[in-house]
Structure 1
Amino acid sequence: MIAQSPPPAKRWITKPFPDSAEQQAAIASLTSSLNISPFLAALLVQRSVHTYEEARTFFRPEINHLHNPFDMKDMDRAIMRLQMAMLPEREEKILIYGDYDVDGTTSVALVYGFLKNYHTAIDYYIPDRYKEGYGISQQGIHWAAENGFTLIIALDCGIKSIERVAEAKALGVDFIICDHHRPGPELPDAAAVLDPKRDDCQYPYKELSGCGVGFKLLQAFCMLKDIELELLYPSLDLVAVSIASDIVPLTGENRVMAYYGLKHLNSNPRTGLKALIKVAGFSRELDITNVVFGLGPRINAAGRIQHAKAAVQLLLAESEEEADEFAMAINKHNNSRREFDSSITEQALSMIRDSDALTHAKSTVLYDATWHKGVIGIVASRCIEHFHRPTIILTQSNNKAAGSARSVPGFDVYEAIEECADLLEQFGGHTFAAGMTMSIDNIDAFRQKFEEVVSRTIKEEHLTPLVDIDLPLDFSEITDKLVRIVKQMGPFGPHNMQPTFMTDDVYLVSEPIIMKEKHLKINVRQSRTGQTLTAIGFGFAHLADQLRLGKPFSICYQVEQNFFNGNVSLQLMLRDIKFSE
């Protein structure tokens, strides 16, 4: 059990109210054309929705809003190579190769599951997290060559695998790379390299998940082969799971794919996901948050505890009996993962608290050879909840130190790691998450250099948790209609977060209720309107005594519907509480 301590104080940043003449005209227009309150119109203008047409696109994404996949650099080359492999006179063996996390396993299930309908000489491969590590492995290449595969489609990995792709080519194996991580200065010598983050790629949307890039490959394949795209669209349930779990922006094309993916997930999910939803205990409509915290960790757990191939087998399962069996096994792995996560997090937090240098550092780099490699990324995130700063957790793997990095809003951890590249053997990732391998002998030097880089480049405000507030809100504005329209602004995620509101001059109207020793349920009334609402604060039990003093305070929160015993009521989900000086 992780020791509970008060969360760090947060900074409240309220977005500017849209008050320019142009914005005010847009608010008036939206208020009239959509028959909504000026408050809701202002919320839309904040999200760059100014006209009725833009509002229609925002609230009702359409599948035809997806971009032409052939706008992506090398897509024509990728499809030409794939088509050549499928020629009856060649009938090449194709291997679908993907990373072992959620993005990788959903990518493999998507591409393999679709292409096997059009090509029989096809199989898939997931590297072992512990024996092979991240990305294209030497073992994987040799297995492919020994088994007669001449084309590998790499998903969610490969953009930096210069040596491995060259080695494969020497063995007579071509690559089509579908990645979304940042490329290095050199690209692999592959038949095609699909990555919207390539400097020379003019694709209009840069933030696809790895599974999203795989989907674009299949979209192009369908267009060239005159296959009805309606046959591909049900696979957006997998793309939605990848988008949610890989924490990519919920904007543009990602938002369209997540919107339709969630529709499939809620109306007619594939057999494997249906079984996973059942073991996760979801009984109501799923949203991105449910996927992030309910489905993603379970899919990930397969590769973290044993082998990620089980996750792909679940996602490809056709019979309910088979799917239920895989889902139960994966759920068991997830329970084991939680135990590892909890005990290692407690050890990591103790290491920080017991060291004056670590407690006051601007970064956290921790190493323990016994820690389970499958949960170090989760542990890094947990440490940030207590010590809000860039964090890297390292463990021993194949006689090397393998690490997982997580960052805080506003700080690019990938760039900081890149400055330490001379001490690393391999690294890759995103702005907020990255992985690396180094010699165990380099750990102390890396810790020192990483701390120096972070101290020099991070801003003081990045070291304090941030609450982004959309607008101040009076309780009198909180209605069923507001909640209904706000819900339609989803799916929510990075760059399209669920609106957060702020109300000041509120006070407690009854005794606070402590739930499970750490959560808080309170009834609050706003002085100005006299209206009372129920608020839930996870992890806010430490504020109960201060609330009992009876002084007014301010709250920031999200508004949600509470379903209980067949009744639906409005409630506030607290993000923070601030007391008057």
Structure 2
Amino acid sequence: MRWNPKSKPNPEKVQAIQQALQVDEIIATLLVQRGIETFEQAKTFFRPTLADLHNPYLMKDMDKAVTRIETAIANNENILIFGDYDVDGTTAVSLVSSYLRSFYPNVATYIPDRYAEGYGISYMGIDYAEDNAISLIIALDCGIKSIDHVNYAKAKNIDFIICDHHRPGAILPDAVAVLDPKRDDCSYPYDELCGCGVGFKLIQALAENRNQTIDDLVLYLDLVATAIAADIVPITGENRVLAKFGLEVINSNPRPGIKALIQNVKKKVLTITDVVFIVAPRINAAGRIKHGNEAVALLTEYDLDQAEQFASEIEQHNSDRKELDKKITQEALLQIEANNEQNRFSTVVYQENWHKGVIGIVASRLVENYYRPTIVFTKSGEKLAASARSVKDFDVYNALEACAEHLEQFGGHMYAAGMTLLEENYENFKSAFEKVVQDTIHPDLLTPEISYDAEIELTEINPKLIRLLKQFEPFGPENMTPVFYSKNLKDSGYAKAIGTEEEHLKAFIKQENSESFGAIGFGLGNKLDLITNQKPFEAVYCLDENEFNGTVSLQLRLKDIR
């Protein structure tokens, strides 16, 4: 691990915000690091309101989308809500379909089969629309590059509205409306929405058109917050507002499907991290192991007993997913060692019978292991399909673009992408990708980095600091949980390795004049020797509240020690 302090913000700006808010220097520093430099910006950050959401009609083509949907309703047309099979797609389909059905019955949903159809808009989906006399398809979290599919639908007199958040290509599909804040010609003030977030802007515009207010849409925010958490989009601006109020819905009055997924969780208040690790993998498991339709059925179910039945089936899919993910990761690691590829700049592995639903997770596991851009391929019909994952600050999408001649198709963003290619092109692609990464990646990026926000003394940790840090939530990209650095630490003599394989570290840590703090270091069990027998050490850590048997205590969540 490389430990790097974040660049120190301008001292005058820190002092100004410190005086304006009457807070400690630590809090002022953290705010300026996040681009919050004025009282007004701090007020919006600490007290976000639904009034902070932008006018949805600022998004290019929003007026066209609303007009076409209202025309469909007036003419009693059948509408199909189409979305990707991951969390972002299935929550978006659940959101838009349940909103429209609240006043219009002729609404169907469609999630493509990961194996038979693959990612994005499919010809099978369009044929389904034709067979069911559907004349309008609203595509969510996909479609921005589906030029041929939209033309195919048009020839059948089926219109498309596309709601996407991925980068557009040079040509946009010939749809009635293309809602994508990343369009070059779209001046919408915030372009980091997830697919479900774009879907929410669509229902917000429809609601305005129908004289509803934002308060009428709060009940849908549990879906939006789940998508924001799962899709790893920045928790800034509009996403932060949507995530904050969505978490409130999850904790107070979630829809039956989400309630069924979280009812066995023993925490009083779920954070965005809990949504990432508890809710999202289960919703994802449906599309990975069986079919994304099961996730939509769960998330649109209003009867709790039925939702609990769906949730128990999804729980089983999630268990199956864990088994597969473990097995394939082991096989991939063996393949890398057998081919003597441990010292490459990239990881590219392939086995034809690997389960397509978990290759993205396996790619993430391999990044954890070797820390380099990684692609995992499997056989999918006549072609090979793959998931790519990257390391911090390396754009894997750009690297794929440089190898496009070997690919059939690809899509995604900086840290995650998907692609297909012909089997005979696999070795050429593997060589080309390795060369692109080797030529473009900075060597430092091949070692994981912990960047910490500030150096502090343990004596500075007090209830007021914790209370203010809690107001920085929800945490996520570009508003990460603050990481602190402290030196001259000692364990009080009770440090031990815990866990079934003694993989974690538990300790009680103090500095010379401080009280002792409980500390937990996940995956740091092998560093126990560094701190035994009162040896001094330094640490990077987050401040955490540990809830055990109803008692809440403050602890340091160690990220690394040395």
The answer, yes or no, to whether TM exceeds 0.5 is yes
SS in 2 for 1:572: strand
| Deviation (angstroms), 1:524 | 1.6
Mapped to 2, the partners of 1:508 and 1:348 lie a distance apart of 39
| Deviation (angstroms), 1:549 | 5.3
| Deviation (angstroms), 1:534 | 1.4
The answer to whether the 8 Å contact 2:83/2:111 transfers is yes
**1:146-161 equivalent positions in 2, closer than 5 A:** 146-161=131-146
Q: 2:258 aligns to what?
A: 273
Mapped to 2, the partners of 1:311 and 1:100 lie a distance apart of 9
The answer to whether the 8 Å contact 1:98/1:104 transfers is yes
Q: Which amino acid aligns with 2:322?
A: R
SS in 2 for 1:418: helix
Q: 2:294 aligns to what?
A: 310
Mapped to 2, the partners of 1:439 and 1:366 lie a distance apart of 15
SS in 1 for 2:485: strand
The answer to whether the 8 Å contact 2:13/2:32 transfers is no
**Aligned in 2, Cα 1:19/1:121: closer, same or farther, shift over 3 Å?**
closer
Q: 1:6 aligns to what?
A: none
Report the more deviating stretch, 459-468 or 545-554.
545-554
**Equivalent of 1:78, from 41, 65, 69?**
65
Q: 1:518 aligns to what?
A: 503
**Equivalent of 1:551, from 535, 550, 557?**
535
RMSD of aligned Cα (Å): 1.2
Mapped to 2, the partners of 1:298 and 1:112 lie a distance apart of 21
| Deviation (angstroms), 1:562 | 1.5
Q: 2:29 aligns to what?
A: 42
List 4+ stretches of structure 1 deviating above 4 A.
none
Q: 2:11 aligns to what?
A: 20
Identity among equivalent pairs (%): 52
Mapped to 2, the partners of 1:283 and 1:525 lie a distance apart of 28
How many residue pairs match? The answer is 560
- Are 2:160 and 1:175 equivalent residues in the alignment? yes
| Deviation (angstroms), 1:19 | 4.2
Mapped to 1, the partners of 2:295 and 2:120 lie a distance apart of 17
Q: 1:297 aligns to what?
A: 281
| Deviation (angstroms), 1:282 | 4.2
- Are 2:441 and 1:461 equivalent residues in the alignment? no
Unaligned 5+ residue runs, structure 2? none
The answer to whether the 8 Å contact 1:483/1:561 transfers is no
| Deviation (angstroms), 1:479 | 1.1
1:219-247 Cα offsets, whole Å, 9 max, x none, are 11111121233221210110000000000
Q: 2:426 aligns to what?
A: 443
Q: Which amino acid aligns with 2:321?
A: R
| Deviation (angstroms), 1:565 | 2.9
Q: 1:537 aligns to what?
A: 521
| Deviation (angstroms), 1:83 | 1.1
Q: 2:464 aligns to what?
A: 481
Q: 1:214 aligns to what?
A: 199
| Deviation (angstroms), 1:513 | 1.6
**Equivalent of 1:229, from 214, 220, 231?**
214
Mapped to 1, the partners of 2:491 and 2:552 lie a distance apart of 23
- Are 2:406 and 1:423 equivalent residues in the alignment? yes
Q: Which amino acid aligns with 1:21?
A: E
Mapped to 2, the partners of 1:166 and 1:52 lie a distance apart of 51
1:294-339 Cα offsets, whole Å, 9 max, x none, are 1000000001110110100000111111000000000010000000
Q: 2:319 aligns to what?
A: 335
**Equivalent of 2:481, from 498, 521, 528?**
498
The answer to whether the 8 Å contact 1:94/1:149 transfers is yes
- Are 2:368 and 1:363 equivalent residues in the alignment? no
Mapped to 1, the partners of 2:8 and 2:402 lie a distance apart of 39
- Are 2:392 and 1:409 equivalent residues in the alignment? yes
| Deviation (angstroms), 1:283 | 3.0
**Equivalent of 1:136, from 106, 115, 121?**
121
The answer to whether the 8 Å contact 2:15/2:28 transfers is no
Mapped to 1, the partners of 2:239 and 2:523 lie a distance apart of 32
Q: 1:4 aligns to what?
A: none
Mapped to 2, the partners of 1:11 and 1:353 lie a distance apart of 25
Mapped to 1, the partners of 2:308 and 2:171 lie a distance apart of 44
The answer to whether the 8 Å contact 1:508/1:523 transfers is yes
Unaligned 5+ residue runs, structure 1? 1-9
Report the more deviating stretch, 46-55 or 311-320.
46-55
Q: 1:255 aligns to what?
A: 240
The answer to whether the 8 Å contact 2:350/2:377 transfers is yes
| Deviation (angstroms), 1:362 | 0.6
1:242-286 Cα offsets, whole Å, 9 max, x none, are 00000000000000000100010101001110001125x243211
Q: Which amino acid aligns with 2:129?
A: A
Mapped to 2, the partners of 1:75 and 1:512 lie a distance apart of 58
Mapped to 2, the partners of 1:512 and 1:390 lie a distance apart of 36
